[in-house]
Amino acid sequence: MKSTISIATFILAVLFLTSCSSIPPSTKAPTALAGWHSLPQVARACGVKSSGWQISREGANLTTSRHKIRLFAESRRMEVNGTLVWLNAPLTAYPTGSTRFFLSPADAADLNTLHQQITSRLPQNKSQRFFTVMLDPGHGGEDSGARSSITGQHEKDLTLDIAKRIGTALARDPIQVVIIRNDDFTMSLDQRTSIAAKNKIDCFVSIHANSAANLNAEGFETYILPAAGYPATNGGEIREPGIGNKWNPANLTLAYTIHNRLVKLGYADRGLKRARFYALQHSTCPAILVEVGFLSNNREARLLNTPAHRQKIADTIAAGIRDYAR
Ligand SMILES: [Zn+2]
């Protein structure tokens, strides 16, 4: 009996030491950040050497042959190959002011997804049928959306025009494009998500244009749902998961694939952001919302009023969808 106890104690001690040795004490999340991931843990989960991080009090950089990731201390800002992606929660140092940084569980999972997308391209189309994308031109009919005081252009007309151009751009691809509103009529948000839910679609892309009191505001924004339990990028309440949270990794992959291309057109990158928009919250497939520029900004309003610029945006979104559908 005595020897049984000592053997059991020995086995427990070995198990304890083994489990401890797999996570060095220096990388273990403190109680205050239980479940958070240290940067070496994040690197290992991605299959990258943890020594790849260059860490200073200002933040951390991870450079591999395929990507460069920049994180900033106590900030939700992250740059992935030069594209701005807003984290769910700030990169947090513990103790405060130190270089021991931790990422929230949702952001560690997102970073892993982005890493896989960049290095191996995750296959999204697992079905035998055609990949189907539903395009949602924002507003319509009685709801004009924003109106540019510079050109007089209505957001509802701009979004429909771009959606049709995306449809044409993808006409020769093995991709079925469904435009939820193919003319100028009123459609509620609930009608849109209900139609999307009734159809077998692989992704949902909502198209909008911005308008702001600050006339200097400009650039592209692409939105996905925040992870459950985290606030939106622009603040607001923390909520329970929406239906759309089921697609968290794919939401991010779809958004990154398109946003990363849009910002290469040379206009301001306002980032891949997170918000609880109705269409995203209630989506039954991976969903994003793209803001294609500011109707309130003099330069962008004039550009958005030209067919050539709208075609450029449509071709870029189409290329992102094509890449995602592979
Ligand atoms: Zn809108």
pLDDT in tens, 137-159: 999 999 999 999 999 999 999 99
For 198, the token pair is 């009734």
Helix segments in 60-173, DSSP class H: 105-120, 155-169
Domain ranges of the chain: 23-108, 131-325
Q: What share of the chain is helix, strand, coil (3-state, %, to 5)?
A: 40, 25, 35
For 23, the token pair is 């996570």
The band of 122, judged by pLDDT with boundaries at 50, 70 and 90, is: low
Distance from residue 236's CA to the centre of ligand 1 (Å): 19
23-108 and 131-325 in the same fold? no
210: nearest Cα among 133, 134, 278, 268 = 268
Q: CB–CB of 283/241 below 8 Å?
A: no
Strand ordering across the sheet containing 37-38: 37-38, 101-103, 92-93
Catalytic residue among 155, 218, 221, 291: 291
Task: Summarize pLDDT for 73-92 with one digit per residue, the tens.
Answer: 999 999 999 999 999 999 99
pLDDT of residue 157: 98
The band of 32, judged by pLDDT with boundaries at 50, 70 and 90, is: confident
Say whether pLDDT at 287 is over 50: yes
pLDDT of residue 237: 77
Which residues fall within 8 angstroms of residue 271, CB to CB, at 6 or more apart?
A: 77, 84, 85, 86, 221, 222, 233
Q: What is the DSSP string of 12-47?
A: HHHHHHHHHHHS-GGGSPPGGGTT-EEHHHHHHHTT
- What distance in Å separates the CA atoms of residue 25 and residue 232, rounded to the nearest whole number? 33
Whether 291 sits among the annotated catalytic residues: the reply is: yes
pLDDT of residue 15: 39
Distance from residue 278's CA to the centre of ligand 1 (Å): 12
What is the topology classification, in CATH, of domain 23-108? Copper Amine Oxidase; Chain A, domain 1 (3.30.457)
For 20, the token pair is 């401890």
Q: What are phi and psi of 227, to 5 degrees?
A: -65, 150
Task: Summarize pLDDT for 269-281 with one digit per residue, the tens.
Answer: 999 999 999 999 9
Distance from residue 182's CA to the centre of ligand 1 (Å): 16
Supply angle C-alpha 40, 240, 76, rounded to 5: 40
Distance from residue 145's CA to the centre of ligand 1 (Å): 5
Q: Using omega within 30 degrees of 0 as the cis cutoff, is the peptide bond preceding 241 cis? A: no
pLDDT of residue 8: 46
Query: For residues 162-193, b (16+ Cβ closer than 10 Å) or e, as one string?
Result: bbbbbbebbeeeebbbbbbbeeeeebebeebb
Average pLDDT over residues 275-289: 95
The CATH label, of 3.40.630.40, 3.40.1440.10, 3.40.50.720, 3.30.450.20, for the domain at 131-325 is 3.40.630.40
pLDDT of residue 126: 57
Distance from residue 275's CA to the centre of ligand 1 (Å): 14
Average pLDDT over residues 220-235: 94
pLDDT of residue 16: 38
Distance from residue 268's CA to the centre of ligand 1 (Å): 19
pLDDT of residue 167: 98
Burial (CB < 10 A; 0-12, 13-18, 19+), residue 25, is exposed
* Least-confidence region, from 110-124, 288-302, 303-317: 110-124
Distance from residue 259's CA to the centre of ligand 1 (Å): 17
- What distance in Å separates the CA atoms of residue 75 and residue 85, rounded to the nearest whole number? 11
pLDDT of residue 36: 95
For 67, the token pair is 């990507």
Kindly state the helix (H) or strand (E) to which residue 83 belongs, with its residue range.
Answer: strand 83-86
Q: What are phi and psi of 61, to 5 degrees?
A: -120, 140
Report which residue type is found at 142.
Answer: E
